[in-house]
Structure 1
Amino acid sequence: MSQELIILPGGADELAKSSIEQFAEPASRYVKKGREGADATSRAYAGDWKRFTAFCVEFGRQPLPADVVTVAAFVTYLAEEGKKVATVQRHLASINKYHYLQNLPSPTPAQQLKDLLKGILREKGSRQKQADAFPLQEFKRVVRSIDTSKPKGLRDRALLLLGFAGAFRRQELSNLDLDDLQFTAGELIVQLKRSKTNQTGEAEEKAIFYSPDMETCPLRTLQQWVDYLRGQGQETGPVFRSFRLGGRGSHTLTQRRLHPTAINKIVQAWLGETYSAHSLRASFVTVAKLNGAEDSEVMNQTKHKTPAMIRRYTRLDNVTQHNAGKKLGL
């Protein structure tokens, strides 16, 4: 083989270099997006990091990179302030995340911090407050009581029924667009663009079915709400929108997407302060399991990845609800 055949022509090295470098900026953007995680989680991390940096400023410590002594003092401060164990753990995760984003070694894996957290767990207990599940009959009673002759009432009933029947997270309900709904003769297929466990936008669906009771049928109620939106000229955009309060108690539909916080307030307004938007999801799992649903069936709707998460979500604390004492045959 001749020498000329293996030597790059003049300027080829520079050409190859410029061709490769054109991918540096988008690659950096993709890496940043991959590291950030879910929007809601990122917001929680940002709040936790702000608290940690304020602590460091107060005591003259360096937040980034932080040392074990500083983090241990901060964790102790949180515990002494009466913060829940889950809150302390989340702050540690936030500190770890910010070090990771900056390619810095994180102090959080240190054995001293593990021992400290273990001691806090033993003293305070690790039981995490979870969203309550509501009794099905109470939920149906509340849903039937909503006046759907008014658009706001129709929206609220559709929101509650869809949230429960589809085991939706409040962020998922907020993100729903009309284009995500596919009504068929037998069911409704809801396309999920993204969710807490699906940050890459993979195809994910939920199925909503007809109920024989017209007043508690999630599919018929949602169809009525969609028909109302289309009657207002809304063929695309958010499924659940806010209303603007007008004179004499009137409500005017807006273009604004319902914020997840607003969805939580709607749930509490109808079901009570002891519940939250997450109760819709927890109640789906609980009611389904009480009615004999298998974990795989529940996971197909909730999109949980493991049966362990289904067991965590199932609210069967009532000693009379789910008890082998009923199966003794006496």
Structure 2
Amino acid sequence: MVTPLPPGAVSPAASADALHAAVGEYAAAARAVNTWRAYRSDHARFAAWCGAQDPPESALPAAPVVLARYLVAHAGARRPATLARWCSSIAVAHDLAGHPSPTRDEQVRTVLAGIRRTHRTRPARVAAASPDDLRAMMIPLDPKSPRDARDRALLLIGFAGALRRSELVALTLGDITLDSDGLRIFIASSKTDPHALGHTRGLSYGSDPATCPVRAWQAWLQHRLHSPTAQPATGDPARTEPGRPAPGRPGTGDASRLLPAAGAFVAVDRWGRLGEAALSDRSVARIVAERADAAGLPGHWAGHSLRRGFATTAHASGASEVALMRHGRWRSSSSMRGYIDEGTVWSDNPTRRLGL
């Protein structure tokens, strides 16, 4: 977390170290932690390969011909999309170090394009969750179990909100509020919101209590309220967070008793004891996969199954592209369509009009 320097506290000599540290902190805050982790991992892989060559090659700065050979060495064994991601990471490393990026060289671009054409692969897709799938996942869940209550709320809010894993785990108790129409979810930052302007999305009550995200959140909140590790709010809850529910508002579950900054979804141990730390994005993927497996659902399940499932289900139900893009925070209709499952191939299919 970046700690702003107080106004008037900057002196040219004494604050040089503080300013240097602040520059690094603000630069790091420009991208998500997971993004930086992927960049470092990808460039470390490239550096290890360069060091293993005879003679060793420089990874930073790297010559275009070296990067081209690196891509060719992994063509076929790695998907073209993976190689393209590696190039993005290598480009960032060079940009930050003040070196020209070899990824912008025409030779590298041509080699990567040739790899894409030669090693065409069908995009690997995780299963898209449907309402029926979610109902199947809910059947074994015990409402008295804190872990089951958490997973139910996480699955249903993730699906209805079209949330990415990173967005789910970043939610705080103060980001989720209740009004007469349902839940208001404030997404402080996301992949398509690099400037962290934030978005508020509404999740309405479900017609089926078993898959209603609002009821699921209320049930999970009750476990949070009765947990010995619950973090109490301090001061006047009505003043600490503008737009947050005031104490005693009907239907809130008295969430104002909890610290608004506490993570919305926290760890639960085998004895049902709640932790204080928010879940990791990998935990979300594991929860989705485990609950799908317990329900006997076929296919490959991951955290992304919730977001893909929302897009597929909402599209099949007749939601407009404008509404889908707004709710799911997609920048373009083409990127949004990539989330729609092949299960929609029979929706308004023109072959039914051919008279065959």
Q: TM-score, normalised by structure 2?
A: 0.80
The aligned counterpart of 1:160 is 155
Counterpart CA distance in 1 for 2:348 and 2:41 is 39
Distance 1:227 1:328, change over 3 A: farther
Distance 1:227 1:127, change over 3 A: same
What do residues 238-262 of structure 1 show as CA deviations (whole Å, max 9, x unaligned)?
11111122xxxx3321112111111
The aligned counterpart of 2:236 is none
What do residues 177-233 of structure 1 show as CA deviations (whole Å, max 9, x unaligned)?
101111111121111111111232213112111012111111111111112201223
The aligned counterpart of 1:45 is 39
CA drift at 1:318: 5.7
Partner SS state of residue 219, structure 1: helix
The aligned counterpart of 1:301 is 327
Aligned residues: 307
Asked if 1 retains the 8 angstrom alpha-carbon contact of 2:308 and 2:341, the reply is yes
Name the amino acid aligned to 1:145.
Answer: P
What do residues 133-184 of structure 1 show as CA deviations (whole Å, max 9, x unaligned)?
1343232222233222211111111111111000011111111110111111
Partner SS state of residue 72, structure 1: helix
Bigger fraction of residues in helix: 1
Asked whether 1:228 is paired with 2:249, we answer no
Asked whether 1:274 is paired with 2:270, we answer no
Specify which of 69, 74, 82 is matched with residue 70 of structure 2. 74
Asked if 2 retains the 8 angstrom alpha-carbon contact of 1:192 and 1:205, the reply is yes
Counterpart CA distance in 2 for 1:113 and 1:252 is 53
What do residues 88-147 of structure 1 show as CA deviations (whole Å, max 9, x unaligned)?
111111111100111110111111111211221111105431222134323222223322
Counterpart CA distance in 2 for 1:329 and 1:180 is 53
The aligned counterpart of 1:10 is none
The aligned counterpart of 1:7 is none
**RMSD value, Cα:** 2.4
Name the amino acid aligned to 1:147.
Answer: D
Asked if 2 retains the 8 angstrom alpha-carbon contact of 1:133 and 1:279, the reply is yes
The gaps in structure 1 that reach 5 residues or longer are 1-16
Asked if 2 retains the 8 angstrom alpha-carbon contact of 1:210 and 1:219, the reply is yes
Counterpart CA distance in 2 for 1:185 and 1:134 is 27
Asked whether 1:32 is paired with 2:55, we answer no
The gaps in structure 2 that reach 5 residues or longer are 1-10, 232-257, 294-298
Q: Which runs of 4+ in 1 moved over 4 A?
A: 21-27, 326-330
Counterpart CA distance in 2 for 1:318 and 1:220 is 29
Structure number with greater Rg is 1
Name the amino acid aligned to 2:157.
Answer: L
What do residues 272-306 of structure 1 show as CA deviations (whole Å, max 9, x unaligned)?
36111101001100100001101111112111111
Counterpart CA distance in 1 for 2:221 and 2:26 is 38
Partner SS state of residue 314, structure 1: coil
Name the amino acid aligned to 1:259.
Answer: S
Asked if 2 retains the 8 angstrom alpha-carbon contact of 1:316 and 1:322, the reply is no
Distance 1:165 1:135, change over 3 A: closer
Name the amino acid aligned to 1:75.
Answer: L
After superposing the two structures, state which structure 1 stretch, 209-218 or 280-289, moved more. 209-218
Name the amino acid aligned to 1:251.
Answer: G
Counterpart CA distance in 1 for 2:145 and 2:268 is 12
Name the amino acid aligned to 1:264.
Answer: A
CA drift at 1:39: 2.0
Name the amino acid aligned to 2:96.
Answer: L
Partner SS state of residue 282, structure 2: helix
Specify which of 235, 241, 263 is matched with residue 238 of structure 1. 263
After superposing the two structures, state which structure 1 stretch, 293-302 or 121-130, moved more. 121-130
Counterpart CA distance in 1 for 2:214 and 2:146 is 17
Partner SS state of residue 262, structure 1: helix
Partner SS state of residue 145, structure 1: coil
Name the amino acid aligned to 2:71.
Answer: V
Distance 1:150 1:32, change over 3 A: closer
The aligned counterpart of 1:3 is none
The aligned counterpart of 2:251 is none
Name the amino acid aligned to 2:273.
Answer: T
After superposing the two structures, state which structure 1 stretch, 117-126 or 139-148, moved more. 139-148
Asked if 2 retains the 8 angstrom alpha-carbon contact of 1:86 and 1:126, the reply is no
Asked whether 1:58 is paired with 2:52, we answer yes
Asked if 1 retains the 8 angstrom alpha-carbon contact of 2:288 and 2:303, the reply is yes
Asked if 2 retains the 8 angstrom alpha-carbon contact of 1:86 and 1:128, the reply is no
Distance 1:284 1:326, change over 3 A: farther
Distance 1:27 1:242, change over 3 A: closer
The aligned counterpart of 1:291 is 317
Counterpart CA distance in 1 for 2:319 and 2:326 is 11
